[in-house]
Amino acid sequence: MMFRHATAPNNIAGEETRARLLEAATEVFLADGFRTARVQEIARRSGLRLSAINYHFGSKEGLYLAVLHHHVRLSQQHLPPDLPELSAVPLRTRLEFVIADILQLHLGQEPANQVPQLLMREMSNPTPALEEIIRQFTLPLAGSLQALFGEILGPAVPQVAVNRSVCSLLGQCAMYAQARAVVSGVDPAIINDKSLIPNTTRHITDFTWGGLQAIRQQWEAATKS
């Protein structure tokens, strides 16, 4: 099954209607997942008629894709910046900036932090939209990290080791949002920390930087032997 987009006439009233539907649909899709979500409930929460969903989005599938695209666009404001002036910033500081951005996306209160939850929903019960989430959200983020980690690790480290390091970092960051019960079970003070994002940023930065330096030394020693 392919998910398809639908377009409706673009006007102020139409945009307001679409925004109400997107807000209601986000709540329902996050709570119930795509397959069990009911468009009747989305219409009820939005205070609109059921026909508005078909008019503006074509179908339940079209509405779901629109929700994903809406939150991906919001999340892109929090992706690590790729600006020329960052080349003058020390690599460790750049790493800390990136980790802070990722954690803010996962743990912050902005609307953009819905993407990790939507992605987690998709991974637990995939739909054809999963590929789009990965393409639009995960891969651009991974690409930024691959470039940064390539600089940190140096030319002696093979790309597969760089990619494993990227996955390790993403896993650390996701743990605090997607496995909060596990983290709380290990130590409730971690999740209840009023400075959760800055303190976790420092910890993951220290942990990741140390690991990357060890990997670099290992591969550089191997090339010399």
Tell me: do 55 and 163 sit in the same domain: no
Note the pLDDT tens digit of each residue in 62-80.
999 888 888 877 776 655 5
Please state, in angstroms and rounded to a whole number, the distance separating the CA atoms of residues 176 and 184.
9
Count of domains forming the chain: 2
- Comparing C-alpha atoms, which of 143, 10, 20, 165 is closest to residue 76? 143
Q: Which domain holds residue 193?
A: 80-224
Tell me: do 195 and 96 sit in the same domain: yes
Tell me: do 16 and 122 sit in the same domain: no
Tell me: do 117 and 33 sit in the same domain: no
Note the pLDDT tens digit of each residue in 159-189.
999 999 999 999 999 888 778 889 999 999 9
Last residue of a domain, one of 73, 88, 107: 73
Residue pair 170/102 in contact by the 8 Å Cβ criterion: yes
Note the pLDDT tens digit of each residue in 103-113.
887 787 665 55
Which pTM does this prediction carry?
A: 0.76
Helical segments of the chain, H only: 12-36, 39-46, 51-57, 60-75, 91-107, 114-124, 130-133, 139-153, 159-178, 180-186, 188-191, 196-224
